[in-house]
Structure formats: C-alpha cells, structure tokens
C-alpha cells in the first residue's frame, strides 16, 4: 500500500471496473480467499491498466480513512454490490465495525416523529431506525429507515402493504395452508408477488424499486395488472403505476441490511440524498461540489463520522452551524 496516495485525477473510472476491484477486495477481506483466487486477483490487476488504477485509488482512500477515522469501515470495500453470498465472517465483521446487528431492532439515531404516512401502520420505523420482525408464517422482514408497512394475512392470501420506505423480505414456506397462500407486497405503484425468494421493495415518490437476491418475483403495475414482468435473482426493476422496467443488476445482498451505506464511484449529490434518509435535520450541498465522486463503505450507526470523513477523502468542507443543520461546500 502506497504511503502517499496518488492524486485525484478528476477522471472517473468505468463503474464496472470500480465494482470489480471492490468485489475482489471484499472477497479477500471476507476470509474465504484461497491461493487460487489470489492468483486470479493478481491476473485481474495485470489484465488492464484501469484495473490497477482502480485498485490503487481504492487503497489510497482506505489509507486516508484508516489514518483519520478509525471507526469507518475500510473504504476499500466500496461498491454498490457486495460480491457473492454474504459469508458469516463478513456479516460478523460488518456488524462489529458498524456497531450494530444486521436487522437489529434498536434505533440507530435519536427518535424522530414519524411523518403522517406512517400513522396507524402495523409496523413503522423512524428516521435512522431499522426493525426486524418474524411474521406468523415464519417470513422474516427488516424494515429500513423511515418506513411504514401493514400486514394483512387472510385464509387465502399473505399480503403486505408498503406505504412508504423500504423492506427486506425473506419468505417462508406457508405450512398453514394447502396449497400455500400466495405472498404479495402491494405498493402505491403496483403489486410484487414472491416466488419463494429474498428481495427488497423500496417505494419513494411515485414508483417502487425491487431487487431480487434469491428466487424470483412477478411485478404487476397498478394500472396494468395483467402486464406482469418476472424479475429473477441478481436482477432489479422499477415498478410504476403504468409499467415495470428492468434496471441494472441487483446487488448480492442489500448493504443497508448490513448496517452500511455503500458508494461506488457515486456522485456526491446522490450520496447526500441517500444519507438524508438516515439523518435527522437538513444537509445542504453546494452546487460546486455536487459532481464530485465518492467510493466507500460507511457505517450508518454514526452519520456524524460519515460527514467528517467526506472532508478527508474529497476537497470539501463540512460545517455544522447549529444542531441538525449541515453545510457541505468547497474546501477553503
């Protein structure tokens, strides 16, 4: 690892290259690497100059974060997709570093009053909180920050209604009925039908996003219920009231369920948008720095440290004039 990180060139590497670099590092970090896989990693680095450049830049970020923010998860694991099935070792490491259990029920930040959309919901979370629950049929759900969900099980249907926010669902076999009752998640944009699976549903605004990690689901738009679209493991899709469309490939597992916020060559403006979901108050971002790009894995248990780290890896200044007001602008 270089003692002096290479300077930022201002030229973004292709996202697939960044993703591949971090997937390799996650594999090496997980403790499951073999001698053969290490040889393959070295071959990948030597295969193209961009591969080595991506590796060096990630290590440079790692050096700065390790030296100045010890509570941060190594930035070298920065990627929007955590490669491969999550190993017990990787889960344990993320839990320990992030300071929380994956799917934990405790609030990560101070309680914030829920918006009106969460009033009366069967299950709900405040800003910065997660909640893990086992449903009567054994299905496991993890409700992400600022979310609201209703549970409606009947003799013929297992139904969830996601009012807002995001939920991770691992369906169980329905042993209470023969044949098993269908399992569906309704959102304001349409219906998601599980086909024995593990998946997330996120609704924000007028559309829902679905990512599948195991099995498959069928999407039915609200205004066109017969226009179903199948989404298989490793895929994701956007569900609007009029249509369902494919998106980029889904991640190996949702990072937020591991207690981390992951950025892979992400615009700072997009990163801040995600961070706002987990932090109370206002985060303002100056237009002059919105285009900057960031890679890192950040523990959601401490958004203050996330903000502090931005000034250590980017040419920005982070100010907190008063409590619950953060200003991010160009470095002086």
Quick one: 70 and 183 in the same domain? Answer: no
Same domain, 126 and 240: yes
* 139 & 221 share domain: yes
DSSP for 233-262, written as a single string: TT-EEEE-SS-EEE-SPPPSS-GGGGTEEE
How many other C-beta atoms can be found within 10 angstroms of the C-beta atom of residue 120?
Answer: 10
Asked whether the beta carbons of 96 and 299 are under 8 A apart, the reply is no
The pLDDT value given to residue 318:
95
Please tell me whether residues 312 and 233 are part of one structural domain.
no
CA distance 55 to 53: 5
Give the single-character DSSP code of 144.
-
231 and 143 share a domain? yes
Give the separation between CA 269 and CA 238, rounded to whole angstroms.
Answer: 21
Altogether, the residues listed in the chain come to a count of 332
Give the integer Cα–Cα distance in Å for 65 and 45: 23
DSSP H stretches of helix in the chain: 15-29, 35-47, 49-68, 88-98, 268-276, 303-313
Contact 158, 137 (CB under 8 A): yes
Question: Can you give the pLDDT of all 332 residues of the chain as single tens digits?
Answer: 333 333 344 455 676 777 677 667 656 655 567 888 888 889 989 999 988 888 877 665 544 544 443 333 333 333 322 233 344 434 444 443 333 222 222 232 233 334 445 557 899 999 899 999 999 999 999 999 999 999 999 999 999 999 999 999 999 999 888 899 999 999 999 999 999 899 999 998 889 999 999 999 999 999 998 889 999 998 999 999 888 988 876 656 788 988 888 888 899 999 999 999 999 888 999 999 999 999 888 889 889 999 999 998 899 999 988 778 899 999 98
Task: Quote the domain boundaries for residue 28.
Answer: 15-99+259-330
Last residue of a domain, one of 189, 221, 246: 246
Task: Quote the number of domains for the chain.
Answer: 2
* 150 & 230 share domain: yes
Based on the fold, state whether residues 52 and 131 are members of the same structural domain: no
Cβ-contact 165, 184 below 8 angstroms: no
Which pLDDT score, from 0 to 100, does residue 26 have? 59
Query: Is residue 215 situated within a structural domain?
Result: yes
What DSSP state is assigned to residue 107?
B
Enumerate residues 6+ apart whose C-beta is below 8 A from 46.
52
Q: Kindly state whether residue 105 falls inside one of the protein's structural domains.
A: no
Q: Do 219 and 269 fall within a single domain?
A: no
């Amino acid at each position: 690892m270089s003692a002096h990180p290479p300077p930022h060139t201002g030229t973004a590497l292709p996202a697939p290259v960044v993703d591949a670099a971090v997937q390799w590092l996650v594999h090496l970090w997980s403790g499951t690497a073999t001698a053969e896989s290490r040889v393959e990693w070295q071959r990948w680095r030597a295969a193209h100059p961009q591969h080595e450049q991506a590796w060096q830049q990630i290590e440079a970020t790692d050096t700065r974060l390790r030296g100045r923010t010890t509570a941060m998860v190594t930035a070298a694991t920065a990627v929007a997709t955590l490669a491969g099935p999550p190993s017990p070792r990787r889960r344990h490491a993320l839990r320990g570093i992030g300071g929380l259990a994956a799917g934990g029920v405790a609030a990560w930040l101070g309680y914030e009053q829920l918006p009106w959309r969460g009033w009366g919901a069967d299950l709900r979370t405040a800003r910065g909180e997660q909640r893990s629950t086992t449903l009567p049929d054994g299905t496991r759900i993890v409700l992400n920050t600022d979310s609201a969900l209703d549970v409606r099980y009947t003799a013929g249907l297992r139904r969830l209604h996601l009012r807002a926010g995001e939920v991770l669902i691992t369906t169980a076999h329905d042993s209470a009925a023969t044949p098993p009752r269908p399992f569906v998640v309704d959102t304001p944009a349409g219906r998601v039908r599980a086909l024995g699976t593990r998946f997330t549903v996120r609704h924000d605004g007028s559309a829902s996003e679905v990512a599948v990690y195991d099995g498959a689901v069928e999407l039915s738009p609200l205004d066109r219920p017969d226009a179903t679209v199948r989404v298989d493991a490793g895929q994701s899709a956007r569900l609007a009231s009029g249509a369902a469309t494919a998106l980029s490939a889904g991640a190996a597992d949702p990072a937020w369920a591991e207690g981390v916020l992951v950025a892979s060559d992400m615009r700072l403006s997009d990163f801040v948008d995600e961070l706002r979901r987990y932090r109370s108050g206002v985060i303002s971002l100056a237009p002059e720095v919105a285009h900057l790009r960031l890679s890192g894995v950040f523990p959601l248990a401490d958004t203050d440290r996330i903000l502090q780290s931005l000034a250590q890896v980017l040419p920005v200044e982070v100010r907190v004039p008063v409590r619950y007001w953060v200003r991010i602008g160009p470095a002086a």
